[in-house]
Each structure stands twice: as C-alpha cells, then as structure tokens.
Structure 1
Amino acid sequence: MPTSNAPAPQGRGSIRWHLILGVMALLLVVLGLVGGTLYTLLRGQTDARVASEFARVADEFEVLATKGIDPATGGPFTDPEALLRVTLERTVLAPTEDVIGFVDGTASLEVAGAPLKARQDPQLVEVVGPLSVGASVVDGVVRTDQREYRYLVAPVRFDGSARSGALVVVADMDAERRLLNQMMQGYLWIALATLVASSVIVALWMRHLLRPIAELRDTAARISEEDLSERVVVRRGRRAGGPDDHRQPDAGPHRGRSPGPARPARRRRPRTAHPDHRRARPPRADGQRLTRRRARRPRHRPG
C-alpha cells in the first residue's frame, strides 16, 4: 500500500482564527456604528443645549429691558449701559460661556470672575462689534486663533437716548467638544474591554466546538499511516452544546436511540413451582415435530 509522509493539513487553527477574527470584525463594526451614532447624537444635543441657553439669556434680557426696574432710579430703564450692568450681575454662566456688554459698539462690560475671557480675544470683538449697533438679534459661529466661538448678539436701544447697547453671549465650542471627547474616551475603553472579553469567550467556545473535528482529523491521520488499530471515539450529547455522553451505544435493537427509562425487572416464576408445568421432550430422530405431553400424576394403588 503506498504511503505518504506528508504532514496532515493543519486547518483547525486556521478555521478557529478565521471565526474569531470574523466575530471580532463584526463586533468592531457594531461598536463603531454605536459609537459614531452616540457621538453624533451627543454633539447635536450639545449644540441644542448651547442654543437653548442663548435663547434663555436673550429672553431674560428682553423682559428686563421692557418690564424691568432700574435700581438706581426706581423707574424703567432708559440707559443701555445701566441695563447691561444689571443684566451681567444677574446672569449665571456655565464654565464654557461668557457675556460681554457693548456700549456704542465698544466692549466695555464683562462678567467678573468668568472662566472664559472672551473680551480679551480681539478677533472675536472685531467680528461682533459691528453687529452690536444693529437692530436685530444675530447668532453665528466664528473661528479665531484662540478657539471656536458660538455667539449671540442682542442689541438694545431706548427712545430718547442716543446711546446704543448690545448683550453678546459667547460659548467656547472647543471646550464643549473636549468634554464630549472625554466622555467618548470612556466609551472607547468600555468598548475595547467588551471586544477583548467577547474575543476570549468566542475563542474558548470555538475550541470546545472544534475539538471533535480535531480528534477525528488526528485519528484519520494516524489511520492513514497504516496504524489500523486506531479507533474513533464516538461521543453523544443529550443536547447541542451539552455535556458529552461517554457511554457506548447499545448493541440491541435500540441502537442509535437514546435509552428510555429503566423498567423494573419482573420476577419470573420457577418452572417447577406448578404441578402442571410442561417439559420439553427432545426431538425425535426421524425429524418429526416436537411434542409436549402433559405430565401425569402417579396413580394410587391400593396396597
């Protein structure tokens, strides 16, 4: 019989790694889609929050200008600078926001102790300065050498006063995105840990799943090397993925089927327990049918 000394193809490892890499790629795509969607939603929520905060400040400024009382005079506001001073004193800012008061196109007022010093950015002041002398509320986004700003300009002018004023609310969008990026970094660490844990679990499951195939392959390789004494061990499981059943299959008519519940053994009556038992006589030499005769009781003879 011709034999071959070529080693058996090592396909188990490649199959296992192909499956593991496929699962890892699928999880990576899913986590990437979830992360991208989450980042887009959170960025949209950040922009909406900043816009709503600007709208709130503008509404409060309008109410104060139309219905507010000047603490210095006890009457309605008639001077834009006095209105801006009171507004800046009452404004509560987030760490990434700042408010500037423009009087006659000049940035002259700011909130004391504000973390964001937008008034010190000349490029921003150059952009919003001409808008402060307008007649309508304007919002927009500007990129300077320091950072990216989102601004809202709310002009104010009183009848009988030659002065003009404007409330300018700005937000540092770079700082807002840094906070969002820090949040996404936490998500990335969690996603990486999930990916590694899932890969380990899949690798262990694949190893358990491919073990019978590996044993069959190794046994087939040994048999092909003229070692005909090798046998393939058959293991049966009660359910898919369940514990292996190492019992050998039955040799009776129930082979291939799972054995049913054990039946209690019936107690057989001995053949000699009844006087009318039947005894089998040996077959006759001429090939006639085997006949059974009833045992006769011995007759009682008088003495």
Structure 2
Amino acid sequence: MTTTVIRETQTTDLVTTAEPAAVRRRVSARVRILLWLLFVMAVALASVATTTRSILLREVDARVSVELSQEANEFSNFEERSADPETGRPFTDPGRLLRTYLAGQYPDPDEELMGLMRRPGTDPATLVQDREVPVKLPLHQDDSALREIFASPDSTGTQDRAVGEIRWAKVAVARSGSAPEAAFVVAVHPGREKARANEVFRVLLVISGVALLMTTGIGWVVAGRILKPVRLVRTTAADLTEHDLTRRIPVRGNDDIAALAETFNAMLDRLERAFAAQREFVDDAGHELRTPITIVRGHLELMGDDPAERAETVRLVTDELDRMSRIVEDLLLLAKAERPDFVTPEPVQLAELTADVFVKARTLGERRWELAEVADREVRLDPQRVTQAMVQLAQNAVQHTTAGQSIRIGSRAVGSHIELYVADSGPGVQPEDADVIFERFRRGTARRGARGSGAGLGLAIVKAIAEGHHGHVRLEDTEGGGATFVLVLEEERT
C-alpha cells in the first residue's frame, strides 16, 4: 500500500572546501577495465530493476481497472435484469436494490463494495457487508471521502489519502426523471499489491548489489590474468638493455594478447639481430682495418727523401687504402643484409639473367668460360643482388683457377626453387673448410695461397644475398676436380 505524505523538507547547503590538488597517479588498465565493467553492469542492473518495478505497477493498475469495471458492470446488469424477490417486480427502492445486491457478493480482501443513499438534509448513508478490510482506514469509515465520491460527476476516480491510495468506480441509482439519490460504489486498495512490487524492486536491488560485488572480485582476477602478458611486455621492455636482448615473453593461447606477445618477441628478435649485426660490424671493421692502417702508418713513418722510395711508398699506401675501402663497402653491404629492403624482388626472365651474368663474368679473366644450361622461366627476384652474388662466385672461381681452365655458369629449376651455379676446375675445397668458408674473414686452407687480396667477405656476401631471397648457398664437388657453388633461391613465380 503506497501512501502519499506531504512533508516539509529542509535543504542543507553542503559546503565543500577545495583540497590541494594531489599529484595525479596513473590508473592502471586493470582498474579502468574493472570500473567500466562495474559502471555498465550497475546501469544495466538498475535499468532491469526499475523496468521490472514499472511493469509490475502497470500490471497492478491494469488489474485494478479491470476489477472496477467488472464490478460496476455486474451491478448495472443486476439493476437492469433482476427483480425484487418479495414482489417479483423490478426494484423501486434503491436501498432494497443495494442491500439485495450486496448480500450476494464476496469481495476480495483489498476490495470494498458499498451502497450510498442520500437522506434529505443528511450525509449519504453507507450500506456495506459485515466484514473487516485490512487497511488502516477503510473507505466506508471515511465520511469525507464518501461525500466527495458521491458528489463527484465522474464514474471512476482515484483518491490519494494520507493512509493510502484508493481507486473507485461508481454506478448512480435514481428513479426515472429524478436526480440520483443512491449509488453503488466499488473501491480497491492497491497499496498491498504495489508494496509487493516495491518489495520485488528492493530484492532486485539487493541481488544486483551482490552481483556487483561478485563481479568486482571475478573481474579483478580475470582482468589480471588477461593483462598479465601486457605487464610482462612492460617489465620486459623496462629491463631490456643493449647488452641483454635475450628475454622473451611466454606466449599462451591464441587471443589478441598472445598475438601482442608474439609481435613483441618478433620485435625483440629483430632488435637482437640488429644489435648483433652492429657489434659484428664494429668488431670486424676494427679487426680488418687495423692491419692496413698499421701498414700505412709504418710506411709513412719510414718513408725517406728518395723519390723512388717515395713513389713506392705512395703505391703501397694507395693499394692498402683501396683494400680498406673495399673492406668497408663489403662490411656495409653485410650490415644492410639485415634490413627488410635489402632485396627488391621483381619479375625477371631467368634465362636472360643467366646470359647477362655469363657475359659480365667473361671479362674477369682469361678462362674457358662455358654457359652450361639456362632455365627458361619467369621468376621474382632481385636481379642486381643475384648478379652481384654470381659475379662474386665467378670472381672467386677466377682467383682459384689458371688461364685455360674451365668455368661453367648455368641455371636450372628444381622443384619449388631455382638454382644458379658457378663450377670451376680449380683445387676445390677441403671437407674441413666447407663449413667455414661462408663466414666473414674466413678462407679455405687449400685456397689461401691462391691469387687475390680479398678479405674473406665475398662468400659471406653471397650467403647474405641467398638468405635475403629465403634461400641458401650449397657447395658441391665439380666432376673431374674443382668446386661448384650453387645459389639456391626460393621461387616466386609471376
């Protein structure tokens, strides 16, 4: 039962004093996620509870309206069709009509059925059944309310009393041609049903509060587990130094957080390779440049005044400087091999590329050059880098052969990859050297006495170019003696 009470309310001004601005603290993602989750859930649960209460109250109003209409229609039908049991004729006395009808009714607990009759010079009299109504002040005991209802021109209405709301319907009873002198009134007290709706609303609020508390705990744990890789990324990034790039984040699952960890680990791999290449470049440059610098300095310090001696010193110094320049260029090329733009693939006719390499290689020395075979296929590769690698292999073959010996150049397609090769008829490569000749500044023992002043970077460059094409370099023995270097490249057909 709802009660409308008019109270005098007093407002109190709240005076807030501004506190000194505190240092802003960074709010973690875990807390932000949890706060947003709680906000959305609180709004959703409050909306559900409010909507449920509104639906229940509307159902109460609809049920009361149906009940009032039903009771009023039943009395109207009784008045029209029933007869006085004593006379067998239509009722002529409104009081007897009301008493007869009320005697056969059984109202609901929150319902009042009554008849009102006007007495000349007095207030309307009340005729009700002899029963208790479970409200503080039943309508049949509220004379002022009865007078207001009887005098009202409306057939239905609502009264907001201090002890609770009343919904009523009225059917006037009058003799033909005269003013109404009696009325049938049905009144319903919806307070208890509305109180039950409000009780459901309060229960929903309590359940929502418990759900929010449970969500806070569960959300805190789940958000912590989900964001754990993110915290690992942050701590790992904070602990990284130039000298320690080996830490990696464990990857678990296949969600976005796992993808973030994989991406971060891949970035660390690239950084580690970049720093390793940088350190290797510095170490190699320092190691290889130290010797020519020492030679240049020694010759300059010992240079005399003799013109012939000066000319010889200048020649030696110039030769060493040229060698230093070649070493620096080769080291820079190897350093670039770690970059993603080291090779730029494009559609290339393999037969045409092989022929071009053969024409360029023939100018390297007086040898018996042979174009062994060519693969007639269009593939995607970097023609400049591949040409550089093949010319380097041809130069290596020239250095380890003599005039008149044969050098064969060719290309072929084997399965899903292509092969370009240079085969010489020189002394070959010792088995113990096969694993080291592609390293920087390393040469095979059987070839150290051969002509050439290379620093041992040529085959390392060839290997870098092959790996830039997702391939490798293979060493084979040449039939009849010698070495065959095969550039194996993964094929990308156009």
Structure 1-normalised TM-score?
0.67
Return the alpha-carbon distance in structure 2 between the equivalents of residues 195 and 68 of structure 1.
Answer: 62
Aligned residues: 245
1:21, distance to aligned residue in structure 2 (A): 0.9
Tell me, yes or no, if structure 1 residue 291 matches structure 2 residue 479: yes
Tell me, yes or no, if structure 1 residue 123 matches structure 2 residue 123: no
Q: Which residue identity lines up with residue 147 of structure 2 in the other structure?
A: E
* Residues 123-162 of structure 1 mapped to structure 2, 5 A cutoff: 123-131=144-152, 138-159=155-176
Q: Which residue identity lines up with residue 109 of structure 1 in the other structure?
A: L
* Alignment match, 2:115: 101
Say if 1:198 and 1:92 are closer, same or farther in 2 by CA, change over 3 A: farther
Say if 1:138 and 1:167 are closer, same or farther in 2 by CA, change over 3 A: same
* Bigger helix share: 2
**Which of 232, 240, 249 pairs up with 2:255?**
240
Return the alpha-carbon distance in structure 2 between the equivalents of residues 25 and 192 of structure 1.
Answer: 12
Return the alpha-carbon distance in structure 1 between the equivalents of residues 248 and 199 of structure 2.
Answer: 56
* Alignment match, 1:175: 192
Say if 1:220 and 1:243 are closer, same or farther in 2 by CA, change over 3 A: closer
1:139, distance to aligned residue in structure 2 (A): 1.2
Q: Which residue identity lines up with residue 24 of structure 1 in the other structure?
A: L
* Alignment match, 1:208: 225
Q: Is the 1:153–1:168 Cα contact (8 Å) retained in structure 2?
A: yes
**What RMSD in Å do the two structures reach over aligned CA positions?**
3.7
Report percent identity of matched pairs. Answer: 25
Q: Is the 2:229–2:249 Cα contact (8 Å) retained in structure 1?
A: no
Q: Is the 1:77–1:83 Cα contact (8 Å) retained in structure 2?
A: yes
* Alignment match, 1:188: 205
1:33, distance to aligned residue in structure 2 (A): 2.2
Partner SS, residue 87 of structure 2: coil
* Alignment match, 2:459: none
Q: Is the 1:152–1:170 Cα contact (8 Å) retained in structure 2?
A: yes
Return the alpha-carbon distance in structure 1 between the equivalents of residues 144 and 196 of structure 2.
Answer: 24
Bigger CA radius of gyration: 2
Unaligned runs of 5+ in 1: 1-8, 252-281, 294-303
Structure 2-normalised TM-score?
0.43
**Which of 109, 125, 130 pairs up with 1:112?**
130
Return the alpha-carbon distance in structure 2 between the equivalents of residues 292 and 45 of structure 1.
Answer: 104
Moved over 6 A (4+): 160-163, 241-244, 284-287
1:283, distance to aligned residue in structure 2 (A): 4.4
Partner SS, residue 143 of structure 1: strand
Q: Is the 2:75–2:101 Cα contact (8 Å) retained in structure 1?
A: yes
Q: Which residue identity lines up with residue 228 of structure 2 in the other structure?
A: R
Say if 1:68 and 1:103 are closer, same or farther in 2 by CA, change over 3 A: same
1:82, distance to aligned residue in structure 2 (A): 1.9
Deviation by residue 1:32-88 (Cα, 9 ceiling, x = unmatched): 222223322322222121111110001000000010133333333222122212322
Q: Is the 2:114–2:184 Cα contact (8 Å) retained in structure 1?
A: yes
Tell me, yes or no, if structure 1 residue 79 matches structure 2 residue 106: no
Return the alpha-carbon distance in structure 2 between the equivalents of residues 10 and 223 of structure 1.
Answer: 25
* Alignment match, 1:23: 37
> Using CA pairs below 8 Å that are at least 6 residues apart, which structure has the higher relative contact order?
1
Return the alpha-carbon distance in structure 1 between the equivalents of residues 165 and 96 of structure 2.
Answer: 30
